[in-house]
């Protein structure tokens, strides 16, 4: 014989369900409170890096913490943080300092940001603007308290220009840096300039071959990189410096999205190496199998093969 709830309790449960539905909270609770914990061990530094983050109200705000733990159990560099759309606070307990960032929208395409280093009593105000199609962006920043040195940057479809005032021998000087690029002969030509140096790069790429020569002026240091994609599993990369005659080569084998194997040699440091990644090389553990990312590397010095070193990193993530 099945039991029934008393009518008063049933009515109360129905009322709570109606309230939850009307407030939008009757769904996946992880949208409103989610906890992520990760730990990573680096055999080269003999350190555990631990991170904890709690996301609230579908990403409206986030609390996070991180700290290092040595093999002996000693804790180092604890950092606490609060992050939201308009306010973020990062507190470094070891140096007793906080970095506070405020952001205010001045319209749909304009924003003001202010970052403050509490211990140094220094801050930076930044005004950001962009066009509705996002093709053009402008940025103006200056220090608070004022130092008289301002910075500006303009980004457009084919490049970027950065202006910065510098103090040289107690005299103000304007530094102009940036880059421009465009399509030339089915490839991309990029010109970068910084201070008195210019770097010219050209990159041609098709389905099988990538060729990228470059030269730095006025030093006249030419480089060339070459990549050959044999198939979707195998690729060879080669870099040669004409000035120093140094070269490096890397062969990559990628059986699937979760496994990558590389073998390489660098003549500049006279080192041969081989490495394997379980999980994507440039991402965290979220997309790795069982959310556990593993990297193993063997380094063999050419001058002393007996001093070969085996290094590894392991990162595990838990979503609670």
**pLDDT above 70 as % of the chain:** 90
- 102: tokens are 């405020």
Q: Give the DSSP letter of residue 291.
A: G
- Give the integer Cα–Cα distance in Å for 225 and 239: 4
What does the chain come to in residues?
320
Q: What confidence score (pLDDT) does residue 27 get?
A: 55
Whether 17 has a pLDDT exceeding 50, the answer reads no
> Token pair 């990159």 is at which residue?
203
Q: Percentage helix, strand, coil, to 5, in the chain?
A: 10, 65, 30
pLDDT given for residue 283 in this prediction:
78
Kindly report whether the peptide bond that precedes residue 145 is cis, defined as omega within 30 degrees of 0. Answer: yes
Q: Is the pLDDT of residue 304 over 70?
A: yes
Instruction: Check residue 148 and give its pLDDT.
Output: 72
Residue 58 has pLDDT above 90, yes or no: no
**The Cα angle at residue 310 between residues 288 and 240, in degrees rounded to 5:** 85
Q: Which of 19-28, 243-252, 281-290 has the lowest mean pLDDT?
A: 19-28
Higher-confidence residue of 177 and 59: namely 177
Read off the pLDDT of residues 61-96 as tens digits, 9 standing for 90 and up: 999 999 999 888 888 999 999 999 999 999 999 999
pLDDT in tens, 129-172: 999 999 999 999 988 888 777 899 999 999 999 999 887 777 78
* Euclidean distance between CA atoms 216 and 239, whole angstroms: 15
Kindly report the pTM of this predicted structure. 0.75
């Amino acid at each position: 014989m099945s039991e029934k709830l008393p009518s008063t309790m049933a009515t109360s449960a129905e009322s709570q369900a109606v309230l939850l539905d009307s407030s939008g909270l009757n769904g996946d609770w992880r949208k409103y409170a989610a906890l992520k914990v990760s730990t990573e061990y680096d055999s080269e530094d003999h350190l555990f890096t631990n991170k904890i983050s709690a996301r609230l109200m579908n990403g409206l705000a986030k609390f996070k913490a991180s700290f290092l733990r040595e093999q002996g159990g000693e804790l180092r560099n604890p950092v606490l943080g609060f992050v939201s759309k308009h306010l973020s606070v990062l507190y470094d307990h070891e140096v007793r300092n906080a970095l506070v960032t405020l952001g205010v929208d001045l319209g749909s395409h304009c924003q003001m940001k202010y970052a403050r280093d509490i211990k140094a009593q220094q801050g930076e105000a930044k005004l950001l603007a962009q066009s509705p199609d996002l093709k053009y962006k402008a940025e103006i920043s200056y220090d608070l308290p004022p130092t008289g040195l301002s910075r500006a940057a303009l980004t457009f479809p084919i490049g970027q220009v950065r202006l910065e005032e510098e103090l040289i021998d107690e005299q103000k000087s304007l530094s102009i840096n940036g880059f421009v690029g465009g399509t030339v002969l089915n490839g991309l030509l990029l010109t970068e300039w910084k201070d008195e140096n210019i770097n010219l790069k050209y990159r041609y790429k098709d389905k099988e071959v990538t060729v990228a020569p470059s030269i730095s002026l006025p030093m006249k240091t030419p480089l060339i990189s070459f990549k050959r994609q044999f198939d979707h599993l195998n690729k060879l990369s080669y870099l040669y410096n004409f000035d120093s005659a140094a070269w490096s080569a890397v062969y990559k084998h990628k059986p699937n999205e979760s496994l990558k194997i590389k073998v390489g040699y660098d003549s500049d440091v006279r080192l041969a190496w081989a490495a394997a990644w379980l999980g994507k090389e440039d991402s965290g553990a979220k997309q790795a199998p069982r959310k556990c990312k593993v990297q193993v590397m063997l380094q063999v010095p050419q001058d002393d093969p007996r001093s070969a070193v085996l290094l590894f990193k392991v990162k595990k993530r838990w979503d609670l």
